[in-house]
Amino acid sequence: MASLNSPITIVRPHLIEFGVGTAGKLGKWADEKGYRRTLVISDAFNASRIDVLELKGEVTVFADVTPEPDTANLEKVLAAANAADAELIVGFGGGSAMDLAKLAAVLAGSTQTLHEVVGPNKVRGPRKVALAQVPTTSGTGSEAGIRALVTDPATMAKLAVESLHMLADIAVIDPALTFSVPARTTAATGVDAMAHCVEAFTNRKAHPMVDIYAIEGTRLVGKYLARAVKDGNDAEARAGLSLASLYGGFCLGPVNTAGGHALAYPLGTRWHVAHGAANALIFPHVLAFNTPSAPEKKTKAVMEALGRETSGNITSVFDAAYAFCAELGIEMKLSGLGVPETDLDAMADDAFAIRRLLDNNPRDLSRADIRAIYAAAF
C-alpha cells in the first residue's frame, strides 16, 4: 500500500456537470465552443433520446454500439467517425459507448492502429477533436477515466488502451438519464461501481489521495443501491449511484482495479455476460480471498460502508458480501448465467494472463486459486 509521501498523478475531465436535469448543458457548452459537426456514439435505445443533449448543428449518430464491444464494432465506429468529420465526439450510454468514443477520438483520422496503441501512453497527441462523455448507467465511471477496452475476438482477451489523450473535455452526469435502467441492470452496474472503489481501496497501489473517493463511493452504493433497485425513479438514490460511479472512475486512473475485474473479464469475453453482472458474481469471492492480505481496517471499513457487520474472517466476509449482492436479485452462480463447467479451465487461463490487474491484487492469485474461485462460484 502506498503512503502519503508516495507520488501519484490525478486527472479529471476538464469540466464536470453533475445533477438531475443537466443533460442539456452539453449542447450549450458545444455551442459556446463553436462545434458544428458532432458524432454521437451510442446504443439503439439511447440514440432514440439524443434530443435531451440539445446539440445544435450537424449531428450524426452511430447507434450500433454492442455490449462488451469487440474490434469489429470499433472498426464500424471509426468508419462512422471518419465519414462524419466531426469536431466533437460524444459517448452517450454505458461504458461500451464511452470507451468507443475515447478510441474514436484518438484513432479516427490517425495513422496509428488500435494494436499500436494498446497499453499505457502509446497514443500520439494532440487529439484533433473534442470529446464529451454522457453516462446513462451508474457503474463504469468511464466518463472520468483515460482507459478504454475492446475485445479481440481471436484471443478472447480485452485490449486495454490508456492515454491522457482520451480524457474527456466535458463529462455531463445527469442521474435522470438512469431512471429507465431496469432493476436487474441497476443492481449489477451498481456493484460494478462499488467494485471499482473496493478494488482500488484494497489495492497494492492504494493511495490516501484516492482512498477518500474509494470508501465514499462504496458508502454511497451501500446507502442507495437497494433503494434504486426498488424504485428506479428515486432521484436521490439515482444521484447517489451516479456519484458513486464517478468516484469509482476517479479511482481507476491512478490505482485501477485488481483481481476481481481480472476474474470477471473472461465471463464477458467468452460468454457475453454483462460486465456489471460478472463483477457482482465475482466480488464476494475475491474480497474474501483478499481478506488475509488486505489491511484489517480496510476490509472492516468496506463492510461497514456496505452496512454489513462481520467478524473479519474469510467466511464471514464472504457471507456478508454474497448476501449484499444476492439480496439485490443478482444471479450469483456461473451455471445460472449459462457458463459451462467445461470452460472453467480456459477461463482460469485467460484470467491468470491479465497481469496488469492481478499484479495489483493485495494477495497473489495463482492459476489454481482462480480455478478454485470459479469452481466455488459455479
Per-residue model confidence (pLDDT) at position 155? 87
Beta bridge partners of 135: 93
Separation between Cα atoms, residue 318 and residue 23, nearest integer Å: 39
Read off φ and ψ for residue 42, nearest 5 degrees. Answer: -155, 175
Separation between Cα atoms, residue 13 and residue 8, nearest integer Å: 17
Per-residue model confidence (pLDDT) at position 123? 96
Per-residue model confidence (pLDDT) at position 1? 63
Per-residue model confidence (pLDDT) at position 295? 73
Per-residue model confidence (pLDDT) at position 163? 94
How, if at all, do strands 119-120 and 147-152 pair?
unpaired
Residue type, 155: T
Cβ atoms of 241 and 168 within 8 Å: the answer is: no
Read off φ and ψ for residue 5, nearest 5 degrees. Answer: -95, 10
Residue 219 neighbours by CB under 8 Å, 6+ apart = 305
Residue 26 cell numbers, joined: 452539453
**Cα separation values, 7 from 81, 208, 253, 255, Å:** 37, 11, 14, 12
Per-residue model confidence (pLDDT) at position 54? 98
pLDDT tens, N- to C-terminus, the chain (378 residues)? 667 888 888 889 999 999 999 999 999 999 999 999 999 999 999 999 999 999 999 999 999 999 889 999 999 999 999 999 999 999 999 999 999 999 999 999 899 999 999 999 999 988 999 999 999 999 999 999 999 999 999 888 889 999 999 999 999 999 999 999 999 999 999 999 999 999 999 999 999 999 999 999 999 999 999 999 999 999 999 999 999 999 999 998 788 999 999 999 999 889 989 888 999 999 999 999 999 987 778 988 999 999 998 887 889 999 999 999 999 999 999 999 999 999 999 999 999 999 999 999 999 999 999 999 999 999
**Cα separation values, 255 from 132, 210, 230, Å:** 23, 8, 32
Per-residue model confidence (pLDDT) at position 111? 92
Per-residue model confidence (pLDDT) at position 67? 87
Give the DSSP letter of residue 343: G
Over the stretch 283-308, which tens digit does the pLDDT of each residue have?
999 999 999 987 778 988 999 999 99
| Whether pTM exceeds 0.85 | yes
Q: Is 16 helix (H, G, I), strand (E, B) or coil?
A: strand
Per-residue model confidence (pLDDT) at position 374? 97
Per-residue model confidence (pLDDT) at position 294? 79
Closest CA to 218 of 237, 185, 240: 240
**Helix, strand, coil shares of the chain as percentages rounded to 5?**
55, 10, 35
Per-residue model confidence (pLDDT) at position 68? 86
Strand order in the sheet with 157-162: 119-120, 157-162, 147-152
Over the stretch 48-81, which tens digit does the pLDDT of each residue have?
999 999 999 999 999 999 988 999 999 999 999 9
How, if at all, do strands 15-18 and 170-173 pair?
parallel
Cβ atoms of 261 and 199 within 8 Å: the answer is: yes
Residue 277 cell numbers, joined: 453482472
